[in-house]
Amino acid sequence: MHSKLCRIAYSLREQSTAVAGVMLRSIMYKFASLICVLTLTGCSFFIMGENVLLVSAELDSKQYKDCSIHLVLNKEINARDYNIQPVTGKFSEAFTVSPNREQVYTARVICESQIVASRTAKYSEVAGEFNFDKID
């Protein structure tokens, strides 16, 4: 009698272990599928990415010394450190900007602490490039 009960208990334990294994495997497959879908579509869900804004001009190097280009986000007063680049003569500097094409930026050419040129526009209006041409 005792061995018969042991065999029944052992059989039930094997069956429950098998059922739990199948359920766990099913959950793992669903989770893996969800991770794949989120990974493949993540960029479109969260609008990740970036744009590049080029700022170009030509400075009269005899007249302007110690110059830098500052890219300022619309609601800020000063440019952040990573949006300031030293420039001389003819230049074209690339800045990484927000993926929001409606964002407004101001590009300022500053020489010896004086603003010598400034331009404000939406990223979408300037097609990714502020061009000051020649600054005399």
Tell me how many domains the chain contains: 2
What CATH number does the domain containing 109 carry? 2.60.40.10
Answer yes or no: do 34 and 65 share one domain.
Answer: no
pLDDT, residue 111, reads: 92
Answer yes or no: do 95 and 40 share one domain.
Answer: no
Cα 15 from Cα 52, distance rounded (Å): 60
Answer yes or no: do 57 and 118 share one domain.
Answer: yes
Answer yes or no: do 56 and 37 share one domain.
Answer: no
Q: What is the pLDDT of residues 54-106, one digit of tens each?
A: 888 888 878 888 999 999 988 888 888 888 999 998 989 888 887 777 888 88
Q: What is the pLDDT of residues 114-134, one digit of tens each?
A: 999 888 888 777 777 777 766
Answer yes or no: do 116 and 102 share one domain.
Answer: yes
Domain with 37 in it: 1-48
pLDDT, residue 86, reads: 93
Please compute the mean of the pLDDT values over residues 10-18 and round it to a whole number: 57
Question: The tokens of 112 are what?
Answer: 């010896």
Answer yes or no: do 19 and 37 share one domain.
Answer: yes
pLDDT for 44 beyond 50: no
Question: The tokens of 25 are what?
Answer: 């495997």
